[in-house]
Amino acid sequence: MNLPNRLTIFRIVLIPVIILIYMFPYAQFGIEPMEFTFGSISLSIVNVIVLAVYLIAAFTDMLDGQIARKRNMQTTFGKFADPIADKLLTTTMFILFVSRGIIPVVPVILMVARDIIVDGCRMVASVNGKVVAAGMLGKVKTVLQMAAVALILVNNLPFELWRLPASQIMLWFAAFVSVASGVSYFNQMKDDIFESK
């Protein structure tokens, strides 16, 4: 197994680590995580650790693609596992936030539904021997989602000091771009989807 694929697997392995750190019942074990205070805003060390692990995972996403292209190490497994790892990582974070009541569920449903529909369209296209590359909107969507996750983890700092809901704006913007990119993918593949034989 080559290095890009190992990085992809490493990213997937980090997901349960993030879940464990974020959802661990610290109070039941008498553990009181340290908190940092910025004005009237507090930030738990748990969130800081989760953010660090998340950023490492996000960095491997960028790194494995660059290595694969630069060294001509692209594989079928990589093409299959890399986008799945990305979606698992980001979707897991949003589900964790919803479970804590930090963000609304609607934008998460929109993004998850988009991913399911796009993956279904891609499967249909692959049956016909077509490969649909990630478009610019899809890449922008990923960046916006990662930015939203980071802002949510730091309790919207520093914007929260000015009462600017940047994390929520970023979340809804990511959902909007996600839907738009889904529509774009669907339009590219509609001939394959509605093909009659």
pLDDT in tens, 111-143: 999 999 888 877 777 776 666 666 788 889 988
* pLDDT tier for residue 196 given thresholds of 50, 70 and 90: low
pLDDT of residue 197: 55
Neighbours of 32 (CB within 10 A): 8
pLDDT of residue 194: 74
Rounded CA gap, 168 and 29, in Å? Answer: 32
Range of the domain at 93: 3-193
Please report, for the domain that includes residue 188, its CATH number. 1.20.120.1760
pLDDT of residue 10: 94
What is the dihedral sign for C-alpha 181, 184, 186, 189? negative
The total of structural domains in the chain comes to: 1
Among 26-30, 135-139, 162-166, the least confident range: 135-139
Extract the tokens encoding 150: 């980071």
**Pair 153, 50: CB distance under 8 Å:** yes
Q: CA neighbours within 13 Å on the CB side: how many for 72?
A: 0
Per the prediction, the chain carries an average pLDDT of 89
Work out the average pLDDT over 9-37. 95
pLDDT of residue 68: 82
Query: What is the pTM assigned to this prediction?
Result: 0.90
* Phi, psi values for residue 34, rounded to 5°: -60, 145
